[in-house]
Structure 1
Amino acid sequence: MHRWTDLADVPDGFGPSVVTIGNFDGVHRGHVSVLTRLVADARASGASAVAVTFTPHPQQVHRPEHAPPLLTGDADRLELLAGTGLDAVLLLPYTLGFARQTPAEFVERYLVGGLAARTVVVGRDVRFGWENSGDLGTMIELGRRYGFTVEVLEDVVPEPSASEGEGHRRWSSTWVRELLDAGDVIGAAHVLGRPHRLRGVVVHGDARGRELGFPTANLAPDATGMVPADGVYAGWLRRVAEPGGPAADAPEVLPAAVSIGTNPTFAGLQRRVEAYVLDRTDLDLYDDEVVLELVDRLRPTERFDSVEALVEQMHDDVARARVVLADGPATAR
């Protein structure tokens, strides 16, 4: 898949294309359903399948105090988008200057002039251009002006089942955030179609885990991926070959118990994400970039009355994590 961050990256004469626009945070099952259909339509018509997306999230520019935590950083978002079969992603830097374009300017410059769009695929609630002044009607009108068709996609919802809420609520990033807020990484994986990921560089911590016999890899505070509710999780640690590299290509996939929280037994104040690779005390992960895939929440964070009680619980956490992870990593979607 081609990854472009500017129209200058798009080859001369590129097109025709089938284009969709969105943030695609998390690249959940609703996104995947839409994108795989778009790819199939593009293949059938001899066009290229392209997604236009933005970094940072527009709400982080316009309303940073109200912006939602992002489910995926750019590296994971691009990797997951590539997995849908797209031919290219145009990842545009989102700034206030960029946002001042009128709907017609955005369409003419990017969709028509840059990508030679034959078809533009959008949802009914599409908004684009200065102050979100462009809507579905605007896109259809601009399609008539510039010679592309507009395909409207309805919301994608789960197939009806006995599970509460399924068959009624559409797949969405908001739904995933709610589940992660509750520590429900199994539910989040159901909506995502894969385990939820955190990605970051391993940094030095207090070395307290090593002193207790459980050396941990501490993620840097600028790690990407929404951090779920405090607790202890079973998951997988992938050491990627190079910064920003695909998690799927990681040469090592290691079982881990992951602690998220402030370490209240030691009166900690800073919220941390740290992973203990099961039965390994010989790993040197400092300054490496790793991806953590969270499979199940073992328990909430607790404060213990003694270090001995904490260590006993940590042994139990490791034993439970080993059972949860016994079947190996989930296969890629």
Structure 2
Amino acid sequence: MVHIWNDPTEVPKDFGPTVVTIGNFDGVHRGHQHVLSQLTDTAKRHNIPSVAVTFDPHPAQVHRPDSAPELIMGLQDKLEALGDTGVDAVLVMKYTLELAAMTPLEFVREVLLEGLHAAHLVVGHDLRFGAGNAGDVVTMQELGDQLGFGVQVVNEYGAGGFPVHHDGDTDRRCSSTWVREALSEGDVVTAAAVLGRPHRMRGEVVHGAARGRDLGFPTANLSHDSTGYVPADGIYAGWLIDQAGTRWPAAISVGSNPTFDGVSRQVEAHVIDRPEENVEDFNLYGQTVAVEFTQRLRGMVAYRGPEALVEQMCLDVAQAHELLTRH
């Protein structure tokens, strides 16, 4: 079981010594996973617990809310993804202007040493911390020498063979920015390659305009406060995971329903293989579900009427079913 703490005061006094890493970890992509694997390996060698320190909300949302990037994943999915890496605990620091004002020394002393009893730090080479991002890897190493903890620096790029090939011939460093770029273009295959798993959104199923149901393709509509980066408009093959953890193959629509002059963007998933024996009981309303994107089938198109749209939807569902069955 992964321990989840929301403040250093919640850490048991007898928990530690520890090996700690620090990061926003938006996406918990393969670059993050490489650092986290070094964290857990170091913890095993020293036979002590591993802890990942992350922040909520994302610092950019506090410092520049009008231009902060859309997050790849919500906190629940981030905690699950961090847990999947094998860490023993996650400390979720509430990011405030007061926290941002801590000097590198204050942050290390109060959070890492007094809170987590850190004996070792495992950090990426681009680490920045403390007020004004004044602290970096060199700062951390100097503080380690001064205060008595070890610092291991992980060079994310090129280590462990994790960079994926971009455009077939060029290596590119795995990053949250790359994931957002891919999703903004609807390229969920590249996003999955950088993430190491399919991109996911999570939200409550709410009532929509019921057009899909009227056309014979009922959909689970995600609420507008769902978490996870919304990929480019289009039709996708993917999966809907219900509250019980059952995975259902799905054709997923992202867009504003231009055939019906829609305005707001909507993410809705049509479950392909709904249980025929109790289809009336297959009610997802009010459930919090996850939607995973496997492949983009086409862009969003305005059709001349419902008949043409239904014809295309039949083709979309058949294509999604064939692709998901093959995978």
Report the TM range for the smaller structure's normalisation. Answer: over 0.9
1:159 and 1:167 in contact (8 A); partners too: no
Structure 2 partner of 1:179: 182
Where in structure 2 are the equivalents of 1:202-281 lying within 5 Å?
Answer: 202-241=205-244, 250=245, 252-280=246-274
Structure 1 partner of 2:22: 21
Amino acid at match of 2:315: D
Equivalenced residue count is 319
Secondary structure, in 3 states, of the residue corresponding to 2:144?
helix
TM-score (norm 1): 0.92
Structure 2 partner of 1:30: 31
Secondary structure, in 3 states, of the residue corresponding to 1:92?
strand
Q: CA offset at residue 138 of structure 1?
A: 1.6
Q: CA offset at residue 143 of structure 1?
A: 1.1
Q: CA offset at residue 284 of structure 1?
A: 0.8
Amino acid at match of 1:130: A
Structure 1 partner of 2:135: 134
Rounded to whole Å, the distance in 2 between the matches of 1:149 and 1:129 is: 19
Structure 2 partner of 1:244: none
Where in structure 2 are the equivalents of 1:1-333 lying within 5 Å?
Answer: 1-157=2-158, 158=161, 164=167, 168-241=171-244, 250=245, 252-280=246-274, 282=280, 283-327=282-326
Secondary structure, in 3 states, of the residue corresponding to 1:76?
helix
1:239 and 1:290 in contact (8 A); partners too: yes
Q: Select between 70-79 and 126-135 the one with higher mean Cα deviation.
A: 126-135
Specify every segment of 5 or more residues in structure 1 that has no aligned partner in the other structure, as ranges. Answer: 242-249, 329-333
Secondary structure, in 3 states, of the residue corresponding to 1:297?
strand
TM-score (norm 2): 0.94
Specify every segment of 5 or more residues in structure 2 that has no aligned partner in the other structure, as ranges. Answer: none
2:157 and 2:163 in contact (8 A); partners too: no
Amino acid at match of 1:260: V
The two structures, once aligned, show a CA RMSD in angstroms of: 1.5
1:160 and 1:167 in contact (8 A); partners too: no
Rounded to whole Å, the distance in 2 between the matches of 1:164 and 1:270 is: 33
Secondary structure, in 3 states, of the residue corresponding to 1:108?
helix
Q: CA offset at residue 118 of structure 1?
A: 1.1
Rounded to whole Å, the distance in 1 between the matches of 2:188 and 2:171 is: 21
Label 1:120 to 1:167 Cα distance change in 2 as closer, same or farther (>3 A). Answer: farther
Rounded to whole Å, the distance in 2 between the matches of 1:37 and 1:133 is: 25
Identity of aligned residues (%): 55
Structure 2 partner of 1:245: none
Rounded to whole Å, the distance in 1 between the matches of 2:64 and 2:218 is: 39
Secondary structure, in 3 states, of the residue corresponding to 1:119?
strand
2:164 and 2:171 in contact (8 A); partners too: no
